[in-house]
A and B are shown apart, each in its own frame.
Chain A
Amino acid sequence: MSAASVPAHGPSPDSDVSHKTVLEAPDIRRALTRIAHEILERTKGGRDIVLLGIPTRGVTLAARLAGRIAEVEGEPVPRGSLDVTMYRDDLRMRPARALGRTELPPEGVDDRVVVLVDDVLFSGRTVRAALDALNDLGRPRAVQLATLVDRGHRELPIRADYVGKNLPTSTREKVKVLLAETDGRDAVVLEVPK
């Protein structure tokens, strides 16, 4: 690349990272189907479960999981979304952010088995914030965690109950989950800085 084509303030975002697709659409589909079955197995047929997605992509994944479970069991699964922005521990490190949506199903969360759904499990801080947020919404009988990708590097004692794919990464890398509903296609992409 010639110097002239590089903008004055650093190269364009695409030129200094390489993208590697680690999961394609069929892989994601199979992973979600497996997770749905595991949830049913672990919760004895999905009795009393509520799927709560963490915005943005966790909500989409929760909707897909609910669809799979309903296909198998023939009954709709209560689901909703849980925004954790106001509970984050890094709020004061950045300007205040726009909020996502918290929406509980009419059944609520009291005495239910809540399955939190997120796209990527990394430091575990988002899940900690979600547990705090959940605490203000009611008292679930149990809380479980489903994630499409576990990329390691936990900073808190948190572990997922259902994992789509364990993906060993370096902290310099970025994991991006793309979903058809929000991004036009299904894929999990690893961004590696050169």
Chain B
Amino acid sequence: MKRHLISAADLTRDDALLILDTAEELSRIADRPIKKLPTLRGRTVVNLFFEDSTRTRISFEAAAKRLSADVINFSAKGSSVSKGESLKDTALTLEAMGADGVVIRHNASGAPHRLAGWVRGSVVNAGDGTHEHPTQALLDAYTMRRRLGDLDGRRVTIVGDILHSRVARSNVLLLNTLGAEVTLVAPPTLFPVSVDTWPCEVAYDFDAVLPKSDVVMMLRVQQERMTAAYFPTVREYSRRYGLDARRLAALQDHAIVMHPGPMNRGVEIAAEVADSPRSTIVEQVANGVTVRMAVLYLLLGGSEPAIGGDVTPAGVSPNGDARRRSGDASRREDA
């Protein structure tokens, strides 16, 4: 049974294309006088945010509301979590309320996977620690496809703090599924140890990669997750790995510049680059709502989810193999 969206690796190529095609059709309702569809009427979506987020939470909320779902927002601040309630107890509370879908953001990698073993509804990972952020990868792929067409054979360069980035991991997995070639660029200290097992290339020289890129995606330097000195100074980082006007000029004419936000203007991306017509940064936010509508519709709209991966019951460590295993059908009931 396909039920959750926890990793971009949960999606087959057909799943991913179905989401992108669905989003393409849904994008049209943004131009309508009534920007609402009755599809998820009577379904409840809980936004469970244990970590600060503006755009992702609002984006999921808007997506669920445009599909007429009931939305319950839960943020860790001001909740029983600050009184020491565990994730499991929070999950059981949600279960008692009858949540059909749970959107979770958590600072611990693997939290959505654990949650999926405890609740009956579909779990959507909205970012867990330094692990994954699959809907961001989907909206990025959607944005690329709108600007460039089919992603097969496209070259995507992702630059910056790969080590702390869940966006990078999800993008590498999804873009690989969609047939694009990904190159990661960062100082050696900002690559995770296991990066050689990822389906992508690794480079240290940004300037050498620029001319052959169709997409350059800049990642935020995540100061809040940096507990050690990963580079000498911000200025040096910016000089070697920042996207400025000079580097923008080295790109091919059709190439686009992306950033998942929030940006540190002047660090990884120059203000003039962020505001240039080749930047898709504002588009990415708008596309986020559409893509999340597609994900919620495909997970919750029918008798059973049309996309996503299964999760074995709690107790199995979150790794790719365990996630793919089927079983546990007895626990599944239709809401």
Out of B25, B32, B297, B302, which one reaches A100, CB within 8 Å? B25
For the complex formed, measure the closest distance between the CB of B26 and the CB atoms of chain A, giving whole angstroms. 7
For the complex, what is the distance from the CA of A94 to the CA of B38, rounded to whole Å?
A: 17
For the complex, what is the distance from the CA of A96 to the CA of B21, rounded to whole Å?
A: 13
Query: Which residues from chain B contact A93 at a C-beta distance below 8 Å?
Result: 303
How many chain A residues have a CB neighbour from B under 8 Å?
20
Out of A95, A97, A101, A102, which one reaches B305, CB within 8 Å? A95
Contact segment of A15-23, A32-40, A84-92 = A84-92
Main DSSP-derived SS at the A contact region: loop
Task: Add 7 more A-B contacts to A86-B297, A95-B302 (CB < 8 A).
Answer: A83-B25, A95-B304, A95-B306, A96-B305, A102-B29, A136-B37, A137-B33
For the complex, what is the distance from the CA of A91 to the CA of B34, rounded to whole Å?
A: 21
Query: Which residues from chain A contact B32 at a C-beta distance below 8 Å?
Result: 136-137
The chain B residues found within 8 Å of chain A, CB to CB, are 18, 21-22, 25-26, 28-29, 32-34, 36-39, 297-306
For the complex, what is the distance from the CA of A96 to the CA of B39, rounded to whole Å?
A: 10
Query: Which residues from chain A contact B21 at a C-beta distance below 8 Å?
Result: 98-99
Whether B297 pairs with A96 at a CB distance below 8 angstroms is yes
The chain A residues found within 8 Å of chain B, CB to CB, are 83, 86-87, 91-103, 132, 136-138
Given contacts A98-B18, A136-B34, A136-B36, is CB(A91)–CB(B25) below 8 Å? no
Query: Which residues from chain B contact A98 at a C-beta distance below 8 Å?
Result: 18, 21-22
10 pairs of residues in contact across A and B, judged by CB atoms under 8 Å: A86-B38, A86-B301, A92-B301, A95-B302, A98-B22, A102-B25, A136-B37, A137-B33, A137-B34, A138-B33
- Chain A's closest residue to B34 (CB) is A136
- Chain A's closest residue to B335 (CB) is A92
- Chain B's closest residue to A138 (CB) is B33
Whether A86 pairs with B39 at a CB distance below 8 angstroms is yes
For the complex, what is the distance from the CA of A139 to the CA of B38, rounded to whole Å?
A: 18
Whether A99 pairs with B22 at a CB distance below 8 angstroms is yes
For the complex, what is the distance from the CA of A97 to the CA of B39, rounded to whole Å?
A: 12
Whether B36 pairs with A94 at a CB distance below 8 angstroms is no
For the complex formed, measure the closest distance between the CB of A95 and the CB atoms of chain B, giving whole angstroms. 4
